Amino acid sequence: MFKKITVFIFSVFLLSNIYGCFALFAGAAAGAGTAVWLSDKLTQEFPAPYDRTINATKTALRSLKLKVTKETRKDDVAQIRSKYTDGKDIWIDINKITENSTKVSVRVGAVNSDKEASDKILKRIQSYL
């Protein structure tokens, strides 16, 4: 019995070292209002209503001279598609968290995503909020 408990505690410790530190870092960064790069997307939460975030996103794209090619919108999630200046696809996902907060994820490029371009777009969205 003691051996099983020891193995269990060691396993939990090992898993927390492998996955926990990264998850804690990502969670802390997101909570602090900074963008987080996960799964080839740059994600950030904003203290702004859902509709206002969608409008800011479209305004940001226009200010970068990027056209909206497709917009899909539901009550609590929206996706805006565009093309970057070098022809790479842009996906912007906007999720409603509460009445006054949203999460925005930006991905530029299908295979090799472009973090710098994603950051540029996300910062421009933030400037319009």
In angstroms, the CA 91 to CA 21 distance is 28
Residue 63: which domain range? 35-127
Q: What pLDDT shows up at residue 53?
A: 97
pLDDT in tens, 15-46: 455 544 444 444 444 444 566 666 778 999 99
Sequence letter at residue 109: G
pLDDT in tens, 72-126: 999 999 999 999 989 999 999 999 999 999 999 999 998 888 899 999 999 999 9
Q: Which tokens belong to 124?
A: 């421009």
Q: Are residues 24 and 72 in the same domain?
A: no
Q: Are residues 68 and 106 in the same domain?
A: yes
Q: Are residues 73 and 85 in the same domain?
A: yes
pTM: 0.70
Q: Are residues 8 and 68 in the same domain?
A: no
In angstroms, the CA 57 to CA 51 distance is 10
The count of structural domains within the chain is: 2
Q: Which tokens belong to 99?
A: 């009445």
